[in-house]
C-alpha cells in the first residue's frame, strides 16, 4: 500500500533539481505542483504539523480530530490526501489508525523550493 | 505597489514556525496554505524557475511566453499570481515588463516546510 502512496514524493526527489537552479521541465513541474497542492490547505498543514510535533512524529487519528474543530469524515479525507501524496504513513493498530511522518518527504519538497 | 504584493511572504516569515516544530495555529496555516497555493501550479513553477535561473534572477516577459507554450494572457495571469503572492517583483522598463525573484521568498516557504 505504502509503495504507491509515497510514489509522488520519491519520484520527486529522484527527478527534480531545485527550481532556482535550472529551468524546470514540464514533467518535473507537474510532479512538484501535485505535491504542493496536497500541502496547500490549512487543515492539511495543521494535521501534518500536529503529527510531526508529536512524540516520535506519530499520532493516533483519535488525537487529530478535536484540535482542528472539523468533522471526523473531513479529517479522514485530509489525512487520505496526505497519505496518497506520500507525506504521511498510515498504520492500523487495534481500534485506531496511527499516522506518522514519512521520513524526508517534507525535506524533499523544501529542498526543491530552496533558493540557496 | 510592491509593499502589498509581497505582504504574504513577509507576513509568513514573521509569523510562523516550521510546521514540524510545533502544532500550527489556524492563522499561520491559512497564510502558508495561501503561499503554497500560488506555487502549486506547473506553469507557475516553470515561470519561477525560468526567472530564477536567468542571469541576475531577472527575465523579460518577452522571454517567458515561448518556453511554456501558453498564450500571452495566460502567462500574464500566472505572473500576476506570483507577483501578488510575493514571489516575483515586476518592473516596467520601456516596452517590456521585467520580472525578478523576490529575495528570500522561496527560502521563507522552504524553511517553514523543512523538517530539519
Does the pLDDT at position B97 exceed 70? yes
pLDDT tens-digit profile of B14-61?
667 788 778 899 999 999 999 999 999 999 999 999 999 888 889 999
Extract the C-alpha cell encoding A61.
487519528
In the predicted structure, residue A15 carries a pLDDT above the cut 80 = no
Residue with C-alpha cell 522571454? B63
Strand partners, A96: A93
A45 contacts B20? CB cut-off 8 A: no
b/e per residue A78-112 (b: at least 16 CB within 10 A): bbebbbebbbbbbeeeeeebbbbbbebbbbbbbbb
Residue of A nearest to B111 (CA): A110
pLDDT of residue B4 exceeding 60, the answer is: no
Domains contained in chain A, CATH given:
2-113 (1.10.10.10)
Distances A40 to A16, A73, B35, B60 between C-alpha atoms, Å: 20, 19, 8, 29
Shortest Cα distance from B38 to chain A (angstroms)? Answer: 9
Q: How many CB pairs under 8 A join A and B?
A: 131
Closest CB to B24: pick one of A49, A113, A114.
Answer: A49
Alpha-carbon distance B89 to B6, whole Å? 8
Asked whether the beta carbons of residue A33 and residue B53 sit closer than 8 angstroms, the reply is: no
What cell does B59 get? 527575465
ipTM: 0.87
Taking contacts as CB-CB distances below 8 angstroms, the residues of chain A near B104 are: 115
What is the C-alpha separation between A101 and A86, in angstroms, rounded?
9
Spatial CA neighbour of B91 closest among B63, B70, B61: B61
Give the per-residue pLDDT at B5: 44
CA distance B94 to chain A (A): 26
- Residues of A within an 8 Å Cβ radius of B: 19-24, 26, 29-30, 32-33, 36-37, 39-46, 48-50, 52-53, 57, 67, 101, 104, 106-107, 109-111, 113-116
- Contact flag B46-A24 (C-beta cutoff 8 Å): yes
* Partner residue opposite B29 with nearest CB, options A33, A36, A46: A46
Amino acid at each position: 500500500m505504502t509503495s504507491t502512496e509515497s510514489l509522488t514524493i520519491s519520484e520527486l526527489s529522484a527527478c527534480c533539481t531545485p527550481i532556482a537552479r535550472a529551468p524546470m521541465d514540464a514533467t518535473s513541474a507537474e510532479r512538484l505542483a501535485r505535491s504542493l497542492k496536497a500541502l496547500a490547505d490549512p487543515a492539511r498543514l495543521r494535521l501534518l504539523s500536529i503529527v510531526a510535533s508529536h512524540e516520535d512524529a506519530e499520532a493516533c487519528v483519535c488525537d487529530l480530530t478535536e484540535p482542528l474543530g472539523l468533522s471526523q469524515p473531513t479529517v479522514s479525507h485530509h489525512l487520505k490526501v496526505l497519505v496518497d501524496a506520500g507525506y504521511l504513513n498510515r498504520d492500523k493498530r487495534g481500534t485506531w489508525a496511527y499516522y506518522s511522518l514519512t521520513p524526508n518527504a517534507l525535506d524533499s519538497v523544501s529542498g526543491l523550493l530552496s533558493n540557496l
